[in-house]
Structure 1
Amino acid sequence: MLEVLAEMYPQADFFALFVRKECLPAKLKNRKITTSFLDRIPGAKRMYRHLLPLYPFAVECLDLSGYDLVISADGAATKGVLTDQHALHLCYCHSPPHSFWDQYAAFRREMSWFSRLLFTPVSQYLRLWDFSAAQRIDGFIANSDYVKNRIWKYYRRESTVIYPPVDTSAAYLSKRPASYYLCVGRLIAAKRVDLLISACNRLGRELRIVGVGPEEGALRTLAGSSVKFLGRLTESELLHAYANCWALLFAADEDCGLVAIEAQACGRPIIAYGRGGSRETVIGMPPETYRGIGNSMDGSTAFTGVFFAEQTTLSVETAIQRFEAIEGSFNPVEIQKHAATFDTTVFVSKFLSYVSQQSENRHKHSPTVVE
């Protein structure tokens, strides 16, 4: 998304808590990027999670004086930047932090007793600061309805949904997709790739996994002979993997789920956990279709995938078997059309319109001072 914003605002300056210059996209390499004092701490980029208690202080130390428009792309602390009184501050919120809001208990369970001892008071402080920072925002943009509801629940702030940009221009349809299933994403516990591996092991289906992460070793141990790890792929290699897969498997409870959109841009169906952002990016075929009550589409809805109800191996297995029974019902062209509704051009149009509206409202309601 930052690349798109950089193109939309070619004169804008960028601020960040940390920057890995070697990982910057080409469009950002020559832009002015100011980082916080945390970026200058030796080893900070490796242990950034342990520096979370310092994020509020670091982000408030960033000097944004003199800017008329501030856009914060937030998933943790950047919404807390301090701006001039006249500045319009709009926050594109990826999600209120899970670690000290809705998944607080789950995070604590995974910690040692000593870590829990520290995490409990720190998370209480971070919740208070996070809520306070959210009240300073002039306008919230949510990346999905799922996140919109979270913003209201934890911040009591209204928001406008604008889905993240996905460049669908290079995507293409394959004339003869292969018979492998595909999984794309970081190999971390929250992605529940273990469920996909276990299901494909038991069904004897080929699964190709794109991505790297700390769980890779454990997942390789779990994987059977039909599971292949592809590591990192180039953009063209990833598009080829999308276009030629039987379907994309997606087991995470995501706030939005861009991977599912990317696969649909290549006309491929999705088998996803039916919760979170997947309910918005994938048009799931209803259960009566699975049971043969309605084994063909009526033309009014172009379904793009199937959902499984639980994060269990059995639930994933059942969804795969249901998909294979009705795979002929999916139209790659219609799936691709659905993905186009999330294209970058749609994002740019909606985002600029929102900024313009917020700017007009601000000027309209600015008080007149008479001395």
Structure 2
Amino acid sequence: IRYVWDFYYTYRANANWLARLVMPGQMHKMRIWDKCAADRVDYFIANSHYIAQRIKKYYRRDSDVIYPCCHINESPFVEKEDFYLTVGRLTWYKRVDLAVQACTRLGKRLVVIGGGGELDKLKAMAGPTVEFLGGGLSDEEVRSYYLRAKAFLFPGEEDFGITPVEAQSAGTPVLAYGRGGACESVVPGKTGYWFKEQTVESLADCIERFERDGVAYSKEEIREHSRSFSEERFERELKEYCERRMADWQQELLDCSHWEKEELD
């Protein structure tokens, strides 16, 4: 639903002609419907502080942040190889085109894992250093690439973003666009870097900085940081949250019953 709110113009610019024709007339109705639905929610859980701010902005409601979980890669570390990696659906808002163009410009090897409607477009702009593996790899094969990559490129703006955490769980630094949930999972200078603008130039500068300075954390320390987003942590926090909210609800019922009794008396 984010295309109804702060991503409207970006989505409309990338939609087909029919969607562009229909969207302006439908947006007001969609916003009213969505706001009415949001008003019926008792409590909000956001998957990042970035989304908590969006909930506050558009719904005027507070929310509690519980980060999503990621399967931590416990495979033994291997020697890093001289290639960059990006993983995900090849759709326009993931901005894989930035990674392809930046690595082509710098002559750096890039491995792209994933399928989608942008594949032909990306292949057309890619140089000889860019390799497309498609989306048919097994989980084990993808984990192997995470382990061997020198760094993971994440040029999109996501609500949270699971793949940067998956990369860090393999001890791999992440070079991410400095907006969205990646700012909450990547520690600049330690587990990776943020680049400021969603442009080829900004990402290329970030890659060159990484090549020059590296990161402060070792592979082991990067993996340890990723445990902040483990499945066990998620289950614990969600359970504690539900128990706390249930206790609040029960207390509200007791208070209401007490108030009604006083009114009758």
Q: Same fold (TM over 0.5)?
A: yes
Match of 2:227 in 1: 340
Match of 1:191 in 2: 94
Consecutive aligned runs of 4 or more in structure 1 exceeding 4 Å deviation: 111-114
Q: What is the count of residue pairs matched by the alignment?
A: 257
- Aligned-partner SS, 1:329: coil
Q: Equivalents in 2 of 1:328, 1:116: separation in Å?
A: 43
Match of 1:277 in 2: 181
Q: Percent identity?
A: 38
Match of 1:315 in 2: 202
Shift of 1:257: 1.1
Q: Equivalents in 1 of 2:126, 2:164: separation in Å?
A: 23
- Report Cα offsets for 1:224-278 as digits up to 9, x if no partner: 1111111122110111010000000010011111100000001110111111111
- Aligned-partner SS, 2:120: helix
Q: Equivalents in 2 of 1:209, 1:107: separation in Å?
A: 24
From 198, 202, 217, the equivalent of 1:330 is 217
- Aligned-partner SS, 2:44: strand
- Report Cα offsets for 1:62-101 as digits up to 9, x if no partner: xxxxxxxxxxxxxxxxxxxxxxxxxxxxxxxxxxx22110
What is the TM-score of this pair, normalised by structure 1? 0.67
- Aligned-partner SS, 1:347: helix
Distance 1:261 1:244, change over 3 A: same
Q: Equivalents in 1 of 2:108, 2:17: separation in Å?
A: 41
From 138, 152, 176, the equivalent of 2:56 is 152
Q: Indicate conservation of the 8 Å contact 1:164/1:347, yes or no.
A: yes
From 193, 218, 223, the equivalent of 2:126 is 223
The code of the aligned residue for 1:246 comes to K
Match of 1:118 in 2: 22
The code of the aligned residue for 2:245 comes to Q
Pair 1:364 & 2:258 matched: no
From 149, 156, 176, the equivalent of 1:245 is 149
Q: Indicate conservation of the 8 Å contact 2:86/2:153, yes or no.
A: yes
Shift of 1:113: 6.1
Q: Equivalents in 2 of 1:154, 1:328: separation in Å?
A: 37
Q: Equivalents in 1 of 2:47, 2:12: separation in Å?
A: 27
Q: Equivalents in 2 of 1:109, 1:259: separation in Å?
A: 26
Q: Indicate conservation of the 8 Å contact 1:173/1:267, yes or no.
A: no
- Aligned-partner SS, 1:360: helix
Match of 1:130 in 2: 34
Q: Equivalents in 1 of 2:20, 2:182: separation in Å?
A: 32
Distance 1:321 1:112, change over 3 A: closer
Q: Equivalents in 2 of 1:149, 1:328: separation in Å?
A: 30
Unaligned runs of 5+ in 1: 1-96, 286-302
CA root-mean-square deviation = 1.5
Q: Which structure's residues are more often helix, by fraction?
A: 2
The code of the aligned residue for 1:138 comes to D
Q: Equivalents in 1 of 2:215, 2:49: separation in Å?
A: 30
Q: Indicate conservation of the 8 Å contact 2:191/2:215, yes or no.
A: no
Match of 1:140 in 2: 44
- Report Cα offsets for 1:99-139 as digits up to 9, x if no partner: 11001122233346654342122221111111111111111
Q: Indicate conservation of the 8 Å contact 1:172/1:265, yes or no.
A: no
Distance 1:328 1:139, change over 3 A: closer
Pick 1 or 2: higher relative contact order, CA cutoff 8 A, min separation 6.
2
